[in-house]
A and B are shown apart, each in its own frame.
Chain A
Amino acid sequence: METVTITMKNPPALYLEADNVSPDAFAGKTAAQIAELHVYEGNTTGTLGKYFDVNGNAGATAAETKIVVKGDVKKVKYLGFKMSAGEVVVEGSTDLYAGAWMTGGKMTVKGNAEAFAATAMKGGELVIEGNAGNYLGAAYRGDWRGMKGGKILVKGNAGSDLGMYMLGGEIVVNGNVDVHVMTHAEGGRTVIKGNVNSKVGGQLVEGTIIIFGTLDVMMPGYKYVDDVELEIDGAKATFAHFIGDTGERHKKKKGQVIYGNLYKKI
């Protein structure tokens, strides 16, 4: 695997839309060619090289390309946009849409990621070592197709509207989560190891939510079924099992109504 290191040298005055910083866009290009790729600052189009030092050539394919992003990229959006393979490591914190529409490969953000990370993600792995903003793994504005596959791990906390319209895949948050979890979801799984606020699983059609910490307010559309023992990431515990959202439509399979499941650690 070839490594391309891009280092912020000329921070933008406005926010920078760097939708070309992905192994797919870099693949097969030399450092000089990568520096020529476009970025947008407000309504002006510039080159990656105007803002970043680019070192190293990319591999022949996305899978053979690793990108390391150094320096202050708190005002840079769309890192890892639509990546399908390879690796992206952001050493600091980043702005909106990190790993959005990614379909494969691995992206690591060592700091925090702002809102809309992994929007409509289809595959691959996103690790956020700090905190995640709102709308992690959610659908794009207006869309009903959220995260469909892949895995997201947040080592810190996550914001609100996590997994909105989620269809598949898994989100694990080691810390706490704000309001609205897996709203409108029709599949997938969210594990919250810390505490969560309220409005969890509102209008959930299908999918699973597992809560280790506290849940401030349970949605009224959830019904207690039984206590079950679950093993999550090698840790065994007893959970109260709820089904819901009973106010929402649900599919039937073999005469059985398929509800969403919410497990709350006892």
Chain B
Amino acid sequence: MSEYVIKNGHVFDPVQGIKGDKADVAIKDGKIVTNAGPGAKVIDATGKTVMAGAVEIHAHIAGPKVNLGRIYRPEDKLFTCTPTRGMERMGGGNSIPTTFKTGYEYAKMGYTTAMEAAMPPLFSRHVHEEIRDTPIIDEGAFPVFGNNWFVMEYLKNHEIENTAAYCAWLLRATKGYAIKVVNPGGTEAWAWGLNCLSINDPVPYFDITPAEIVKGLIEANEYLGLPHSMHIHPNNLGNPGNYTTTLDTLKLAEGFQAKNKFGREQVMHLTHTQFHSYGGTNWGDFESKAKEVMDYVNANKNITVDTGNVTLDETTTMTADGPFEHHLTELNHLKWANCDVELETCAGIVPYIYSPSISVCAIQWAIGLELALMAKDPMRCFITTDHPNAGPFTRYPRVMKWLMSAKAREAQINAFKHKDKVLSQTSLGTLDREISLYELAQMTRAGPAKSLGLASICGGLKPGMDADIAIYNINPDMPIANPEDIEKAFTRAACVFKSGVEVVRDGEIVSNGHKRTLWVNAKVKENPQVMRDINEKFLKYYSVTQANYEALGHHFVPNPYAIEVDAVQ
């Protein structure tokens, strides 16, 4: 493999504590090394910013629900298609881009690792086929557990060992990466036409509460010592006044400590926090409770969060929170798709327009930014748009612009039709913090990598780590004249390396790299009861056999990167 030296760049690396100092970064055999050989190719990064490749902790980028979105929204591709060009295959779509476009767009922004946030286990084969077809970036997928019949039956009796054995089996069967929970119990309740809007609403038939599911899965996660923590989309998403449910959910992590060998410190990752930080009693008195939620997060080190920033675009909402999507289609009257997944989950899809002239959308926009600006520890608060729910991931550079420039935020606030509402219902107008490049590297690189248990592999520039590197056209020595320059620089990186291969040069794709699928192979001691239960459920309830369920072999996961976990003891 080629050797490179990236010379004279301003390096921002939270892993080594480098805050913009001029330094050289050397690459050999796909890894970052202390020194490259004399024949190394020199990349001049003078006057540029050098960071590790960014890590996406939560996006919906592969699988049946994404694809259903593509199928039922041909208008999302209208006027967006690009033909084959150089290394790039044709692509298209805005909020639900094709797999190829997804890989290219992430890479062009300097992202080299991304997590698909909700994999229905029954359709893991489809998820992996899409991951396989998404070039360049390393990907993993989180199977959903929060409404799973096995999990609910075991946790009803607090059988942590059995839950853990089942989780380990499912992660292996689906080549999954982490334990994801979406509207715990609520999505199963939806199959009965109901929902769970608080952590104590009983789940019909199963006689268990969301609180019991969440605590049980935290315990199972730490029993196994998985690289990532239990990753939750809590109950009561998107409703005014839901911040109390969010705080109740966060409090479930109290008393739990992370047990793993990956350097992860949190036991709960709460995702798209923006959708869960609402006050008020209706859409008229809707207000931000970002402070209440972030105060709790700041004070509790065993929690990480991501923001879920609204980007003010037309987009496609899609979630395994089936009842929420029905609620949404009743609000905006746009087309609705619902897909039940037997024994496991149920997804819904509805297009949504975050209009700057609607006060609720403008307040949502402000809440997402408030959360990031109120975060005291950027290593525990990550930037996402919950792609495509709050906006397409291609808008990350715009979110970065708003976070890094108070001037850019002010300009957007002034452009809102209901500016006064944004100022009265949120505190964004009083926040003058501007996220620094170092903090940005924490929120988009080192932080999410650590939360995912990947801190030794990616998210930093320490020798020995994967050579995932992004170089941006930003000179930290010069004042930023125009906030638009921030957006422009992060939209198209000057140069991107993925595992030591130059994949982007001057914002253009120059290689399809060596994409890998990250998954977690957790070994537990033999558990005949769980294996018998699995066998029985397939015979009794599933519409497929066990042999047709697992995502195996070269076809589905051609380039696996298994992270081994030993929980036999």
Which B residue sits closest to A248, measured CB to CB? B333
Q: Are A144 and B334 touching (Cβ within 8 A)?
A: yes
Choose one: B74, B334, B335, B351; the contact of A141 (CB below 8 Å).
B74
Q: Give the nearest-CB partner of A186 in chain B.
A: B333
**In angstroms, how far is the closest chain B Cβ from the Cβ of A186?**
9
- Cα A140 to Cα B78 in complex, Å, equals 9
Residue of A nearest to B78 (CB): A140
The contact string, 1 if C-beta is below 8 Å from chain A, for chain B 267-289, is 00000000000000000000000
**A142 interfacial contact with B, CB 8 Å:** yes
Q: Are the CB atoms of A249 and B333 closer together than 8 Å?
A: yes
In the assembled complex, the CB of A97 is this many whole angstroms from the nearest CB of chain B, namely 12
Distance to closest chain B CB from A18 (angstroms): 16
Say yes or no: is B73 at the interface (Cβ < 8 Å to chain A). Answer: yes
Q: How far is the CA of A249 from the CA of B331 in the complex (A)?
A: 12
Which residue on A lies nearest to B74, using beta carbons? A142
| Residue A231 is within 8 A (CB to CB) of chain B in the complex | no
Against B, the Cβ 8 Å flags (1 = close, 0 = not) of A138-174 are 0111111000000000000000000000000000000
Which chain B residues lie closer than 8 Å to A140 at the CB level? 74-75, 78
A144 touches B335 (CB 8 A): yes
Measured between alpha carbons, how far is A162 from B544 in the docked complex, in Å? 44
Q: Taking the complex as formed, is B192 at the interface, i.e. its CB lies under 8 A from any CB of chain A?
A: no
CB-CB contacts below 8 Å: B53-89 with A: 72-76, 78
The contact string, 1 if C-beta is below 8 Å from chain B, for chain A 235-252, is: 000000000000001000
How distant is the Cα of A139 from the Cα of B73 in the complex, in angstroms?
12
**Distance between Cα atoms of A142 and B74 in the complex (Å):** 6
Give Cα distance in the complex from A77 to B76, angstroms.
21
A143 to B78, CA, bound (A): 10
Closest residue on chain A to residue B76 by CB atoms: A142
CB distance from A13 to the nearest CB of B (A): 20
- Map CB proximity to B onto A39-54 as digits: 1 under 8 Å, 0 otherwise: 0000000000000000
Query: Which among A139, A140, A143 has the highest number of chain B CB atoms within 10 Å?
Result: A143
Contacts of A139 in B (CB 8 A): 75
**Would you give the shortest CB distance from A46 to chain B, in whole angstroms?**
14
In the bound complex, CA of A9 to CA of B532 (Å): 74
Are A143 and B333 in contact (CB-based, < 8 A)? no
Nearest opposing residue in chain A for B72, CB measure? A142
Per-position binary interface string of chain B over residues 513-545, scored 1 when its CB falls under 8 Å from any chain A CB and 0 otherwise: 000000000000000000000000000000000
Per-position contact with A for B319-348: 1 when CB-CB < 8 Å, else 0? 000000000000001110000000000000
In the assembled complex, which residues on chain A have CB atoms less than 8 Å from the CB atom of B334? 144
Most buried by B among A142, A143, A249: A142
Question: Closest CB-CB distance, B543 to chain A, in whole Å?
Answer: 29
Contact digits for A188-212, partner B, Cβ 8 Å, 1 yes 0 no: 0000000000000000000000000
Closest chain-A Cβ to B48's Cβ sits at a distance in Å of 36
How far does the alpha carbon of A240 sit from the alpha carbon of B104 in the complex, in Å?
Answer: 59
Residue of A nearest to B351 (CB): A144
CA–CA, A139 and B75, complex, Å:
9
Determine how close the nearest CB of chain A comes to the CB of B47; give it in whole angstroms: 38
B76 contact set on A, CB distance < 8 A = 142
List the B side residues contacting A142 at CB < 8 Å: 72-76
Chain A residues lying within 8 Å of B351, measured Cβ to Cβ, are 144
Residue of B nearest to A82 (CB): B79
Residue of A nearest to B71 (CB): A142
Give 1 or 0 for each of A120-146: 1 = CB within 8 Å of chain B CB.
Answer: 000000000000000000011111100
Give the distance in Å from the alpha carbon of A249 to the alpha carbon of B74 in the complex. Answer: 25
**Distance in Å: Cβ of B411 to nearest Cβ of chain A:** 28
Q: Are A141 and B75 within 8 A (Cβ)?
A: yes
- Taking CB as reference atom, which chain B residue is nearest A141? B74
Q: With the chains together, A142 CA to B334 CA distance in Å? A: 11
* Chain A proximity of B35: nearest CB distance (Å): 49
Instruction: Report the nearest A residue to B84, measured CB to CB.
Output: A43
Residues of chain A within 8 A (CB-CB) of B73 are: 142
Residues in A neighbouring B335, C-beta threshold 8 A: 144
Q: How far is the CB of A150 from chain B (nearest CB, A)?
A: 19
Q: Which residues of B contact A249 (CB under 8 A)?
A: 333
Chain B min CB distance to A219 (Å): 20
| Bound-complex Cα distance A249 to B553 (A) | 50
**Bound complex: CA of A141 vs CA of B75, how far in Å?**
6
> In the bound complex, how far is the Cα of B351 from the Cα of A142, in angstroms?
11
Determine how close the nearest CB of chain A comes to the CB of B434; give it in whole angstroms: 38
A247-259: contact bitstring with B at CB < 8 Å (1 yes, 0 no)?
0010000000000
How far apart sit A139 and B74, CA to CA, in the bound complex (Å)? 12
Q: Which residues of A contact B74 (CB under 8 A)?
A: 140-142
Instruction: Identify the interface centre among B73, B75, B334: most chain A CB within 10 Å of its CB.
Output: B75
CB-nearest residue of chain B to A140: B75
Q: How far is the CA of A140 from the CA of B77 in the complex (A)?
A: 11
- From residue A228, how far is it (CB to closest CB) to chain B in Å? 30
Residues from chain A with a CB closer than 8 A to the CB of B78 are: 140, 143
Chain A residues whose CB sits within 8 angstroms of the CB of B333 once the complex forms: 249
In Å, the complex CA distance between A140 and B79 comes to 11
Q: Which residues of B contact A141 (CB under 8 A)?
A: 74-75
Q: In the complex, how many angstroms separate the beta carbon of A187 from the nearest chain B beta carbon? A: 14
* Nearest chain B CB to A258 CB, angstrom units: 14
The docked-state distance in angstroms from the alpha carbon of A142 to that of B94 is 14
CA distance A249 to B334 in the complex (A): 12
Query: Chain B nearest CB: distance from A141 CB in Å?
Result: 5
CB distance from B77 to the nearest CB of A (A): 9
Q: What CA separation (Å) do A253 and B28 show in the bound complex?
A: 70
Residues in B394-429 with C-beta less than 8 Å from chain A: none
B334: nearest chain-A partner, CB-CB: A144
Q: How far is the CA of A86 from the CA of B333 in the complex (A)?
A: 37
Q: Which residues of B contact A144 (CB under 8 A)?
A: 334-335, 351
Q: Whole-angstrom distance from the CB of B199 to the nearest CB of chain A?
A: 33
Bound together, the chains give a CA A140 to CA B75 distance in angstroms of 7
Task: State in angstroms the CA–CA spacing of A200 and B73 once bound together.
Answer: 25
How far, in whole Å, are A249 and B329 apart by their CA atoms in the complex? 13
Which residue of chain B is the closest to A249 with respect to CB atoms? Answer: B333
Docked pose: A142 CA to B76 CA in angstroms: 9
CB B349 to nearest CB in A, in angstroms, measures 12
Distance to closest chain B CB from A108 (angstroms): 26
Chain A residues lying within 8 Å of B72, measured Cβ to Cβ, are 142
CB distance from B128 to the nearest CB of A (A): 27
CB distance from B459 to the nearest CB of A (A): 38
Give complex CA distance A142, B333 in Å. 14
Closest to A45 in B: B83
In the assembled complex, the CB of A120 is this many whole angstroms from the nearest CB of chain B, namely 9
Docked CA distance A153–B72 (Å):
31
A139: nearest residue on chain B (CB-CB)?
B75
Docked CA distance A144–B335 (Å) = 8
Bound complex: CA of A110 vs CA of B260, how far in Å? Answer: 75
* A14 shortest CB reach to chain B, Å: 16
Residues in A with CB closer than 8 Å to B75 are: 139-143
17 contacts between A and B (CB under 8 A): A139-B75, A140-B74, A140-B75, A140-B78, A141-B74, A141-B75, A142-B72, A142-B73, A142-B74, A142-B75, A142-B76, A143-B75, A143-B78, A144-B334, A144-B335, A144-B351, A249-B333
Residues of B that sit less than 8 Å from A by CB:
72-76, 78, 333-335, 351
Binding site for B on A (CB under 8 A): 139-144, 249
In the A-B complex, the 9 residue pairs with the smallest Cβ-Cβ separation, listed nearest first, are: A143-B75, A142-B74, A142-B75, A141-B74, A140-B75, A142-B73, A140-B78, A144-B334, A142-B72
With A140-B75, A142-B73, A142-B74 known, 14 other A-B pairs at CB within 8 A are A139-B75, A140-B74, A140-B78, A141-B74, A141-B75, A142-B72, A142-B75, A142-B76, A143-B75, A143-B78, A144-B334, A144-B335, A144-B351, A249-B333
